[in-house]
Every structure is written in structure tokens, then in C-alpha cells.
Structure 1
Amino acid sequence: MMVNTDNLISITDANRNFSKVTRMVEEKGVAVILKNNARYIVMEFSRAEQLQEAPDEDVMSIPKRLIEQNREAYKVLAQ
């Protein structure tokens, strides 16, 4: 994942001024909070839901691709 350095905020700043984090999310879509070597992403809930849902087209294309790639093996197994 590419992270825009404009979206970074330290955990100290986030703790002191959480409204700054929410403003950043509203303006830039995401805020990345840094704590030592860890990174935490804050984003709008609706965007997180969209990232979790696979489009039906993608889901349906997977079995078709697998059938095409393994057609000969399926023919042998069917005998």
C-alpha cells in the first residue's frame, strides 16, 4: 500500500488532538497513525466496508479461470 506522507500523524499528536485525525480523514480519505514501528489506518467506515466486499464479477471470474486453466485435468478426472 502506498502511503502519502501528508497523511501521517504521530500517536502523540493523535492522542492530543483527535479532531486533527478526523479532519485529515475527511479531507484526504485516510490518516495513518505512527507508533514506534507500527502503523494504524483510520478511514471512514463506509470505505472500509467497500474494501472488504469483493465485486460479484471478481467472484464469478475465479472459478471460470480455474476451469480454463485445468480443463485437461478435469477431463482426466471425469473418466
Structure 2
Amino acid sequence: MLVDTHNLVSLTEANQNFSRVARMVDERGSVVILRNNVPRYVVIDFAQIEDTAASDDEVLAAGAMFIDKHREAFDELAK
């Protein structure tokens, strides 16, 4: 995930001024909150969740592909 440095906010600042964080999300689409100078949390517009949610069929297809790809390991674990 690429992070725009203009979208970084410290956890302290987010706690003290969450309305600013909300405005930033409205303007930029997302904000990354840092904890101990490390990206820890992402605040995004709720509409983005609905746009990126996978359908049940997509999840099942991804699961089947993962199982097929790692079939030998699963067979070994099943012994």
C-alpha cells in the first residue's frame, strides 16, 4: 500500500483532534494514523469499503486457488 505523506497523523493528534482527521478523510479519501512513528491504523471513507468488498464467489474462488496452490502442504499436514 502506497502512503501519501500528507495523509499521516500521529495517534496523539488523532485523539486530540479527530474532527481534523475526519475532514482529511473527506478531502483525501484516507488517513494513516501513526503509533510510535509507525503506520498502525487507516481511516477511510465508508463508501470505499462498499466499493472494494469482495463478493462471496470471489472469496470462494480465492480460497480454492490457495488450496490448489498449496495442495502438497495440506496433504502432508493431513497425515
TM-score range, shorter chain: 0.5 to 0.7
1:33 aligned residue: 33
Alpha-carbon distance between aligned partners in 2 of 1:42 and 1:18, rounded to the nearest angstrom:
11
Q: Is 1:44 the equivalent of 2:38?
A: no
The alpha-carbon deviation at position 13 of structure 1 amounts to: 0.2
1:77 maps to which residue? none
Q: CA RMSD in A?
A: 1.9
Q: Which residue of 2 aligns with 1:17?
A: 17
1:25-55 CA distance string (max 9 Å, x none): 000000100112352100111101212235x
Using the aligned pairs only, state the percent identity: 48
Consecutive aligned runs of 4 or more in structure 1 exceeding 4 Å deviation: none
TM-score normalised over the length of structure 1: 0.63
Unaligned runs of 5+ in 2: 66-79
C-alpha distance in 2 between matches for 1:35 and 1:49: 27
Q: Give the 3-state SS of the residue equivalent to 1:49 in structure 2.
A: helix
- Consecutive unaligned residues of structure 1, counting only runs of 5 or more, are 67-79
Structure number with bigger Rg? 1
Hey, what does 1:70 align to over in structure 2?
A: none
